[in-house]
Amino acid sequence: MPDELDALAGQLTEGLAGLGSALIAFSGGVDSSLVAALAARALGEQALAVTAVSPALASGELDGARSVARAVGIRHELISTAELERDDYRRNDRFRCYYCKSELYERLAALARRRGFAAVLSGANADDTGDWRPGLRAAAEHGVRHPLLAASVRKDQVRALAQRLGVPNADKPASPCLASRLPYGTPVSADVLSQVDRAELSLKQRGYRELRVRHFGDLGRVQLGAAELPRAADPDEHAAVLACVRAAGYQRAEIDERPLRSGSLNLDITPVSHAG
């Protein structure tokens, strides 16, 4: 297995080196962190990680991204995105991610042109084609490249490679944007995103790592990873979790008995790949 990982890392690094320079859409999740680490190896100062800041970015994610960038030795900059100014995004239909990524990739592509970077890269991996990912369509429209997806690298391989290369967040749970906590059809607003963020931050401060607070109007539904559900079943802890959610502004709170499944609000949507 180590030899296979080394060979895969070498293949990816060689491919990135051939670009000459690259700008990485860097959320600070494990996928984009791996791409950033590989790009730093392959391109040195000709690689730049860029993190988009908006109300949809959960508390703590920016600090995490900065820490990873320092650890893997890549230059790191921030930009602001204004997806909330887009009516199509705020409406929150099943193409919300397309409008969000269109905003992001338009800004990254413009930055790449101004600064002379040869490519814009994302952290999409092979497993992303098995879920509803309209953001891949936006990526295709803006010429964004997906080195992990192109090499058919799966999520388990992403984590193994990240660990092999010393990327510090190799075991970081997935943390999609806060808007993903809203069912399609529920309008997205800065106030709602902030409410979700407050609830989740309170639970993280209690030590929970893998969680979502799903927003259903006046109800906040907590979803926890399978390993963390037993802790929340304790009566005192159960009450404390619900209190965290109500303190964030929800009139009602509940804990889902089923373990967290990332992308659960997409389950009724047929996956369509737009990788191009």
**Same domain? 195 vs 255:** yes
Average pLDDT, the chain: 93
200 and 132 co-located in one domain: no
Q: How confident is the model at residue 94 (pLDDT cuts 50, 70, 90)?
A: very high
Beta bridge partners of 52: 79
Q: pLDDT grade, residue 275 (50/70/90)?
A: very low
In this prediction, residues 8-12 reach a mean pLDDT of 95
- The mean per-residue pLDDT over the stretch 118-136 comes to 91
Does residue 264 surpass a pLDDT of 80? no
Q: Choose one of 141, 164, 187: the last residue of a domain.
A: 164
Question: In which domain, by residue range, is 250 found?
Answer: 178-209+211-259
- pLDDT tens-place string over residues 26-45: 999 999 999 999 999 999 99
| pLDDT value for 182 | 98
pLDDT of residue 184 exceeding 80, the answer is: yes
Q: Is 190 in the same domain as 86?
A: no
pLDDT confidence tier of residue 238, bands split at 50, 70 and 90 = very high
Residue 111 domain-assigned?
Answer: yes
pLDDT recorded at residue 205 = 97
19 and 124 housed in the same domain: yes
Give the span between the Cα atoms of 7 and 10, in whole angstroms: 5
Average pLDDT score over residue span 157-175 = 95
Q: Which residues, 6+ apart, have CB-to-CB distance to 229 below 8 Å? A: 255, 257, 259
Overall number of domains in the chain: 2
In a domain, 121, yes or no: yes
Same domain for 42 and 149: yes
CATH number at residue 183: 3.30.300
| Per-residue model confidence (pLDDT) at position 270 | 46
Residues 22 and 134 in one domain: yes
pLDDT band at 129 (very low <50, low <70, confident <90, very high): confident
- Whether 248 and 217 share a structural domain: yes
For residues 24 and 76, membership in a common domain is answered with yes
Name residue 141's beta-bridge partners. Answer: none
Same domain? For 136 and 251 the reply is: no
Averaged pLDDT, 194-207: 98
Q: pLDDT at position 253, please?
A: 98
pTM for this predicted structure: 0.91
pLDDT tens digits, 44-63: 999 999 999 999 999 999 99
Of 164, 191, 219, the domain-final residue: 164
Choose between 129 and 85: higher pLDDT.
85
- Indicate if 196 and 234 belong to the same structural domain: yes
18, 52: one domain: yes
Write the CA distances from 30 to 132, 160, 275, integer angstroms: 19, 10, 20
Q: Give 197-200's long-range contacts (Cβ < 8 A, gap of 24+).
A: 197/58, 197/59, 198/247, 198/248, 198/249, 199/244, 199/245, 199/247, 199/248, 199/250, 200/58, 200/59
Whether 222 and 182 map to the same domain: the answer is: yes
State the pLDDT confidence band at 268, using cuts at 50, 70 and 90: very low
Query: Over pLDDT 90: what percentage of the chain?
Result: 89
